[in-house]
Amino acid sequence: MATYKGIKGVKVVTKATDPTASEAAGTVWYNSTSPSALKYAIEGAGAWASGGNLVVARAYGGSSGIQTAAIYYGTYPASGANESYDGTTWTEVNNLTTARGYFAGSFGTQAAGVTTGGYVPVWTKVANTETWDGTCWTEVNNSLTARTSGAGAGTSTAGLAIGGTKDPSTTVADEVESWNGTCWTETANLNTARADLSGSGVSTSALAYGGYFSGPAAVSDLVESWNGTSWTETTDVNTARGFGGGAGTSSTNALFFGGGVPPPYSNETEFWNGTTWTEVANLTTARQQGGFGGPSNTQAILMGGADSTTQQVTEEWNDPVYTIKTVTVS
């Protein structure tokens, strides 16, 4: 009869406490403390898990950061409310200088964020830009075109505000502006004008996906890739939708989640590897226009948003998911 040592070449190790699931993936050990048990760890497919609820249910805001360090600010009807997340709990912090929602672009980190554009009452577009230093918001140079409902990508010193709507009325925009930490500069336009799209990446390697061409009846599945100079159309997402969340570090990795098609709202999640979009595990709560962030397509966060009601829920994506199992003997 084969033994574990014969198969693996080592004995089962005895431990007083369990290692972390990720460290132990693929191994077996005996936990000697009460209750003692033989255990093993496995690596599973990506999934969404519950995080801490927002202090106040909100949608249509801007966001910056990652799972363990994020901020979510603004809403519509216009509010300057701002909350900070430590990976467990949301805390109210200093408000935006100008209350608004439906931003033209938001990006950066919990300690260094940037947001521009948006609606102030009553449905008036602004070009205001504010920077966040981890404590306070400061008004800085306006963007060149007052816009709303765009996508953002990048850092506090090198970012993009992509597409959206502009005057007159709700004209869909193809404009893209780049931020260098001080000023905005017009750069190459999108190939296809869109609003309520999602974005991820950095200022030299970004992705813009989904959105609406001219209103909720004209939902888009288009994806465009940015190389720092120009936009190129690439593989479409599987499900056309706008108002979704996005995460990723470049044009070759992204995660696209939630959104509206229009209603019913979407719980779908799609994973981008630089070539194809693959449907993966769904959100627990289908919704659109939440705050979102994440360092890559393997780790992301979605907070708030709206379905038939405005939400407080936060969900966190990890891929893979590591789990410790106990060997049962019958």
Instruction: Output the CA angle 265-67-99, nearest 5 degrees.
Output: 65
Q: What is the pLDDT of residues 103-134, one digit of tens each?
A: 999 999 999 999 999 999 889 999 999 999 99
Strands 171-179 and 184-186: antiparallel
Q: Which amino acid is at 67?
A: Q
Q: Give the pLDDT confidence score for residue 52 in this predicted structure.
A: 98
Is the pLDDT at 262 greater than 80? The verdict is no
Is the pLDDT at 264 greater than 70? The verdict is yes
* Average of per-residue pLDDT values in the chain: 94
Find the mean pLDDT for residues 136-148. Answer: 98
Q: Give the pLDDT confidence score for residue 330 in this predicted structure.
A: 59
- Looking at mean pLDDT, say which of 18-32, 58-72, 316-330 comes out highest: 58-72
Find the mean pLDDT for residues 208-228. Answer: 91
Is the pLDDT at 1 greater than 70? The verdict is no
Q: Give the pLDDT confidence score for residue 135 in this predicted structure.
A: 98
- Categorize the per-residue pLDDT at 215 as very low, low, confident or very high, splitting at 50, 70 and 90: low
- Least confident range from 151-155, 216-220, 319-323: namely 216-220
- Supply 106's token pair: 């938001």
Q: Give the pLDDT confidence score for residue 263 in this predicted structure.
A: 73
For the CA atoms of 170, 190, 59, 286, the dihedral, rounded to the nearest 10 degrees, stands at 110
Share of the chain above pLDDT 70, in %: 96
Residue 109 DSSP SS3: coil
* CATH number of this structure's domain 47-318: 2.120.10.80
Q: Give the pLDDT confidence score for residue 234 in this predicted structure.
A: 98
Find the mean pLDDT for residues 32-47. Answer: 90
- Categorize the per-residue pLDDT at 261 as very low, low, confident or very high, splitting at 50, 70 and 90: confident
Which H or E run contains 7?
Answer: helix 4-8
Question: In angstroms, rounded to a whole number, what is the distance separating the alpha carbons of residues 279 and 139?
Answer: 40
Q: What is the pLDDT of residues 178-214, one digit of tens each?
A: 999 999 999 999 999 999 999 999 999 999 999 999 8
Cβ pair 78, 61 in contact under 8 A: no
Indicate the domain borders of the chain. 4-44, 47-318
Strands 124-125 and 129-132: unpaired
Share of the chain above pLDDT 90, in %: 87
Is the pLDDT at 78 greater than 90? The verdict is no
Is the pLDDT at 217 greater than 70? The verdict is no
Residue 35 is classified by DSSP as S
Residues written for the chain: 330
Cβ pair 283, 225 in contact under 8 A: no
Q: What is the pLDDT of residues 237-248, one digit of tens each?
A: 999 999 999 999
Q: Give the pLDDT confidence score for residue 6 in this predicted structure.
A: 67
- Categorize the per-residue pLDDT at 145 as very low, low, confident or very high, splitting at 50, 70 and 90: very high
Is the pLDDT at 216 greater than 90? The verdict is no
Question: In angstroms, rounded to a whole number, what is the distance separating the alpha carbons of residues 126 and 24?
Answer: 52
Q: Taking the CB of residue 227, how many other CB atoms lie within 10 A of it?
A: 12
Give φ, ψ of 103 to 5 degrees: -65, 155
Question: In angstroms, rounded to a whole number, what is the distance separating the alpha carbons of residues 146 and 28?
Answer: 58
Is the pLDDT at 148 greater than 90? The verdict is yes
Cβ pair 137, 131 in contact under 8 A: yes
Q: Taking the CB of residue 285, how many other CB atoms lie within 10 A of it?
A: 18
